[in-house]
């Protein structure tokens, strides 16, 4: 059978690459956060458009554009984005 680290998703969750290449690991994490912000912002804008007739204050959901801008800025300058996220 083997250990958890030698089969399935466990081998991809191994922390040896995190120790060997911490800069690449943090860069990938920054891009994951940027992607998450992009998708979240897009969903917020779509929800604002669909809920426009049903609720008041839907413009607050349309602020998802700020999330999209945030994700683009992080993708352009990932190390500055890491500093912003850390602070």
Structure letter (DSSP) for residue 77: S
Please provide residue 81's backbone torsions phi and psi, each rounded to the nearest 5 degrees. Answer: -65, -40
Query: Residue 18 — pLDDT band, cuts 50, 70, 90?
Result: low
Considering the chain, what percentage of its residues have pLDDT values greater than 90? 5
Q: Among the listed ranges 4-8, 15-19, 20-24, which one has the minimum average pLDDT value?
A: 4-8
Q: What is the mean pLDDT of residues 46-69?
A: 78
Q: What is the mean pLDDT of residues 80-86?
A: 77
pLDDT at 41 exceeding the cut of 80: yes
Q: Please, are residues 65 and 43 in contact by the beta-carbon 8 Å criterion?
A: no
């Amino acid at each position: 059978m083997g250990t958890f680290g030698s089969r399935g998703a466990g081998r991809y969750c191994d922390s040896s690459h995190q120790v060997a290449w911490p800069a690449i690991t943090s860069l990938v994490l920054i891009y994951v956060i940027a992607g998450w912000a992009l998708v979240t912002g897009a969903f917020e804008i779509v929800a604002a458009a669909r809920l426009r007739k049903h609720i008041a204050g839907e413009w607050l959901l349309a602020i998802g554009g700020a999330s999209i801008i945030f994700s683009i800025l992080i993708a352009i300058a990932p190390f500055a984005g890491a500093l912003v996220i850390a602070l």
